[in-house]
Amino acid sequence: MAHPSQLGFQDAASPVMEELLHFHDHALMIILLISVFVLYIILTMVTSKLTNLNLLDSQEIEIIWTVLPAMILILIALPSLRILYLMDEINDPHLTIKAMGHQWYWSYEYTDYEDLGFDSYMIPTQDLTPGQFRLLEADHRMVIPVESPVRVLVSAEDVLHSWAVPSLGIKMDAVPGRLNQTAFIASRAGVFYGQCSEICGANHSFMPIVVEAVPLEHFENWSSLLLEDA
């Protein structure tokens, strides 16, 4: 999860987020090189008193400063399009979960099971135990198996919400009357925090998302206990 004064992204917990981090570094290096080059040209023009007639009227230079930016845009666009298509790929999910946004909590339904679902509310500050995070902890976590493709169907019952977990590289709008879907694979076990990312009313900042990735055996034990309780 994020730390105070953190400048970069959270550690990636899914293959898609790893790709997004690589693309961010790739684009940032291009921006850095362009910024340094432009700064060098500006300093040279300001400090130099010499005038080169070839620089004032040169077809070759005009061709270069037209073609070079186009090539740079292609270097940025191709990896970006690749990641966009990867994020839309949903191939044979092992588990499907429906996440419904409400004012102001989330409800989860494991559609592969007959009767497995629950509501997830934020734990009030006065009820937190040592080690829990304020405004981020939920009384029921969305538990998923590690290294298994998970599909999440996202919708809402009242107003616009957005189901977002940064470390998994997921952000999907929850629109009333519309069923959006996204997919991810948790590459390691852990607890990953997110929040509603669409302003949805007075308690918008009080509907956290907690995803807990566990080994498959632990997930089966957890689901069995919930089904017995139901």
Residues 83 and 193 in one domain: no
Give average pLDDT by consecutive 10-residue segment, the chain, 230 residues. Answer: 83 94 95 95 84 69 89 94 90 93 94 90 93 92 94 94 94 94 94 93 92 94 83
The closest alpha carbon to 103, from 180, 161, 170, belongs to 161
Strand-pair partners of 118: 108
The closest alpha carbon to 107, from 51, 153, 60, 61, belongs to 153
What's the whole-model pTM score? Answer: 0.85
Would you say residue 114 lies in a domain?
yes
Residues 123 and 51 in one domain: no
Instruction: Determine the Cα–Cα distance for residues 163 and 16; give it in Å rounded to an integer.
Output: 16
Tokens representing residue 192 in the block: 């990953």
| pLDDT in the model for residue 44 | 87
Residues 103 and 84 in one domain: no
Residues 65 and 84 in one domain: yes
DSSP string, 10-46: PPP-SHHHHHHHHHHHHHHHHHHHHHHHHHHHHHHHH
Residues 103 and 148 in one domain: yes
Would you say residue 10 lies in a domain?
no
Tokens representing residue 76 in the block: 């940025």
Residues 29 and 54 in one domain: yes
| pLDDT in the model for residue 227 | 81
| pLDDT in the model for residue 229 | 73
Instruction: Determine the Cα–Cα distance for residues 61 and 163; give it in Å rounded to an integer.
Output: 49
What's 138's DSSP letter? B
Residues 54 and 106 in one domain: no
Residues 137 and 223 in one domain: yes
Residue 201 structural domain = 95-229
